[in-house]
Amino acid sequence: MGKRYFCDYCDRSFQDNLHNRKKHLNGVQHLRAKKAWYDLFRDAAAVLLEEQGKKPCRKFLQTGQCDFGFNCRFSHLTEADLEKLNAQVQDERRSKEDGGEVPASAAEDWLEKRAKRLSLAQNSSSPSEKTVFQYPPGWPPIQDLPPSLQAPPPGGWLVPPNLQWG
């Protein structure tokens, strides 16, 4: 038994050779299946817009069949389908607003508020109001504390200019 080529779009397999593959990949069935597959992942809003712009395909709506299939230039969606699609679009829109993605304007709002908050904090903390470091009551004398528990010297710890942290 030779190798089989499995086409995910069409959900079928055939003997894998150049001739079969070419024939299949250019076949109408395959192209339709492929388009349908990608349509599944298209934005519902885009599909809705496109379908609403088409006239209904009478043949499809009356008989449930149309030779043009996915390539038909008329819409194969019924009113109910369109309503369902519309509901889906609203749903997706809502879920996007609910948090998934933060709209640009919200992010800008936040940045603005943050900038205000920061400048307020800077203005209000004059040197005299700065909290003075105090050891908790009951601690041993400072010189008896291990270095890691001692307050930094005024001006901070001295860091040698070429110090490299491991």
Query: What is d(CA 67, CA 74) in angstroms, rounded to the nearest whole number?
Result: 12
Residues 64 to 123 in contact with Zn ion, rule: CB under 5 A: 66, 68, 72, 74
In the complex, minimum distance from the CB of residue 30 to Zn ion, in angstroms, rounded to a whole number: 3
Q: Which two tokens stand for residue 64?
A: 């449930």
Window of 7-15, 40-48, 106-114, 153-161 that interacts with Zn ion by CB under 5 A: 7-15
Query: What is d(CA 91, CA 44) in angstroms, rounded to the nearest whole number?
Result: 10
7 binds Zn ion (CB under 5 A): yes
In the complex, minimum distance from the CB of residue 58 to Zn ion, in angstroms, rounded to a whole number: 8
Query: What is d(CA 79, CA 84) in angstroms, rounded to the nearest whole number?
Result: 9
Q: Please select the residue that binds Zn ion; options are 44, 45, 57, 61, rule is CB under 5 A.
A: 57
Q: How many residues line the site for Zn ion (CB under 5 A)?
A: 10
Query: What is d(CA 36, CA 30) in angstroms, rounded to the nearest whole number?
Result: 10
C-beta of 70 vs 135, nearer to Zn ion? 70
Closest C-alpha among 85, 9, 87, 93 to residue 50? 85
In the complex, minimum distance from the CB of residue 49 to Zn ion, in angstroms, rounded to a whole number: 19
Q: Please select the residue that binds Zn ion; options are 9, 44, 45, 88, rule is CB under 5 A.
A: 9
In the complex, minimum distance from the CB of residue 75 to Zn ion, in angstroms, rounded to a whole number: 8
Closest C-alpha among 47, 79, 54 to residue 68? 54
Q: Do residues 18 and 5 lie in contact, with contact meaning Cβ atoms separated by under 8 Å?
A: no
What x/- string results for residues 16 through 55 when contact with Zn ion is judged by CB under 5 A?
--------------x-------------------------
**Spatial CB neighbours of 15, under 8 Å, sequence gap ≥ 6:** 2, 3, 4, 5
In the complex, minimum distance from the CB of residue 45 to Zn ion, in angstroms, rounded to a whole number: 22
Binding site for Zn ion (CB under 5 A): 7, 9-10, 30, 57, 60, 66, 68, 72, 74
